[in-house]
Chain A
């Protein structure tokens, strides 16, 4: 536990601090870049992009070795992965646009073919003398063991550039994600905006390869945005909330894995992000499962209460057990089902409101007001006291009800 606290406070050693800062920056960049992917409903494209990095890593290694260099040069490997990811992305685009295949089929095909090719290359490299301890398989699930200062610099610079580009492009990306047809009519080149968005996703994937690996970087792109969506109804808030959630997941996850040497960093980061997602899914106000269930229960209770009172107005027997329970709990009926004084008074009020509504709908021209009659909305919420008084004048004297 104290190890975890030390790591959180960046006191667990130089390497652990570098990893924590790098993971936080990567998480922030991934959360923001993934937001527009999620809003454009193209989250799975990131899966294809990520898997398409692998052959690039292998090819870059082979090329660097063939040129007599050090095959493990991180910069070279990342450039290779970026090139093959871009090729995979363009291939998905091309298949989706030029053939009758839908994008999901294109993603499935490109993802597996590129990944398969990458695995073949890595296997071949392992049989080479030069490929002995290349450690290329670390790119699959990430590794923090050899994190260098320059790796952290790559993540920091790349991440900052990605976030800056997202800030610049937030308006066109929002437009295209919400209404691509309207965006085109405004003169926005939607294909270029989409490519820019994908390019940013690709950049995050590439800079995240070393730390979390290509399989898990997809989770960092998508989960924070989906989590943020539970808490807000505005794009810009989703965007920055996703960044903060991604950054926090990266930081806390890296600290946790640093405090226990056997815990792998990338997977722990993803599990932290998934934990935040699960909490939001359950407990977010308005959009969370719990809030939705509660509001449904409340609504159901309102409906039953109202139906029960209307039945009292018409002196009809009530059979529904839930209705009976609600009316009894509020003291509106006695245990034997006969209305109490309070119940009769409320029923009379509801009967009067129903007649007021009848008058309102007959005399009022504004259908946006009278259209709000749904049997549940209190008339006081729709019309002013003066208007209701006017309805009462037209109604005449109140009637006795439910005697």
Chain B
């Protein structure tokens, strides 16, 4: 299976089956399973460069799994992932990942600045000293998310929204080209949601690519310009204006989306 896939990408690029070298994240035939039940089945996705893309789908549809498997955080059964046309191992410097806030222990003995400096690990390595320039970079990243006054706080003393901003600052400190965010707006206050979306829009303006797992259908059209609908299988992908339709949503969510809710969404979009 893997063999044929690799062959297809090597000589099939002209046929459009291979990974797009310009795409910040292209996935071919990605299948991930927990036990015998696939969480994702043979998913193809090509995210465009410079876009603000949302991965949308119902609970348990494999949204976070798609991000994690693309990054190699969980093993996949089959599939090929390329980042800017390269295998992921060759492109780690260009990726910044913002995990779910709940994935870490916030009582860990570390300060806000120390967490942001973790984003510089690939530059610092084992031995390089944390120079003043590195610290300035961390301070700048904190400033961009409105957290400059919290630099020496222990992370456990932050509110949920502030913790999410620190995670975003850590990703900014990486100076990457592709930003992958897992539910960045989950359980954060309105001010943080606005602050995060401002930062993401600024990244897009710099030509960076953003891909976020997103669960709030009412803000998809407002925040994002590209959408990937998934429910174990890839359901639809394309610009929000043409892809984020009631029909595609009904197909993705099945009976789980109330018809009245759909009408509301259509109104919001109009």
Binding site for B on A (CB under 8 A): 39, 41, 168-169, 171-172, 174-175, 177-179, 181-182, 184-188, 229, 232-235, 237-238, 366-368, 371
Contacts and interface: CB of A to CB of B under 8 A. Distances in A.
A233 B118 CA distance: 16
B99 interface: yes
A59 to B, nearest CB: 36
A275 B132 CA distance: 41
A178 B72 contact: no
Interface in B92-107: 92, 95, 97, 99, 103-105
A185 B89 CA distance: 9
A391 B249 CA distance: 48
Interface of B: 68, 71-73, 89, 92, 95, 97, 99, 103-105, 108-111, 114-115, 118, 121-122, 124-127, 146, 154, 170, 180, 189-191
Given A181-B99, A184-B73, 18 more contacts: A41-B105, A168-B127, A172-B121, A172-B126, A174-B118, A178-B104, A178-B108, A179-B99, A179-B103, A184-B72, A185-B92, A185-B95, A187-B89, A187-B122, A233-B109, A234-B110, A234-B114, A366-B191
Nearest to A100: B35
Contact of A175 (B71, B95, B118, B190): B118
B154 A186 contact: no
A172 B126 CA distance: 8
B199 to A, nearest CB: 15
A229 B109 contact: yes
B209 to A, nearest CB: 15
A184 B122 CA distance: 12
A186 B92 contact: yes
Contacts of A177: 108
Contact of B121 (A175, A229, A234): A175
Given A187-B89, A367-B190, A178 B118 contact: yes
A58 B202 CA distance: 65
A384 to B, nearest CB: 15
30 contacts: A39-B109, A41-B105, A168-B127, A169-B126, A171-B121, A171-B124, A172-B121, A172-B126, A174-B110, A174-B118, A175-B121, A178-B115, A178-B118, A179-B99, A179-B118, A181-B73, A182-B99, A185-B73, A186-B121, A186-B122, A187-B122, A229-B109, A232-B109, A233-B110, A234-B111, A235-B109, A235-B114, A366-B191, A367-B191, A371-B189
B73 to A, nearest CB: 5
Nearest to A239: B109
Given A184-B71, A235-B110, A371-B191, A179 B126 contact: no
A39 to B, nearest CB: 7
Contacts of A175: 118, 121
Contacts of B99: 179, 181-182, 185
A376 B179 CA distance: 39
Contacts of A174: 110, 118
A371 B126 CA distance: 41
Contacts of A234: 109-111, 114
Contacts of B125: 171
Contact of A233 (B111, B124, B127): B111
Contacts of B127: 168
Contacts of A171: 121, 124-126
A234 B170 CA distance: 17
Contact of B103 (A181, A235, A366): A181
Nearest to A369: B191
Given A181-B99, A371-B191, A187 B108 contact: no
A232 B154 CA distance: 10
A371 B99 CA distance: 26
Nearest to A367: B191
Given A235-B114, A368-B146, A185 B71 contact: yes
A235 B73 CA distance: 25
Contacts of A41: 105
Contacts of A182: 97, 99, 118, 170
Contacts of A232: 109
Nearest to B104: A179
B148 to A, nearest CB: 12
Contacts of A237: 109
A166 B180 CA distance: 31
| A-B CB proximity, top 9 nearest | A185-B97, A187-B92, A233-B154, A367-B191, A185-B71, A179-B104, A233-B109, A181-B99, A178-B108
A184 B99 CA distance: 11
Nearest to B192: A368
A233 to B, nearest CB: 4
A177 B121 CA distance: 14
Contacts of B191: 366-368, 371
Nearest to B127: A168
A167 B209 CA distance: 37
Contacts of B126: 168-169, 171-172
Contact of A39 (B92, B103, B108, B121): B108
A182 B114 CA distance: 14
Contacts of A371: 189, 191
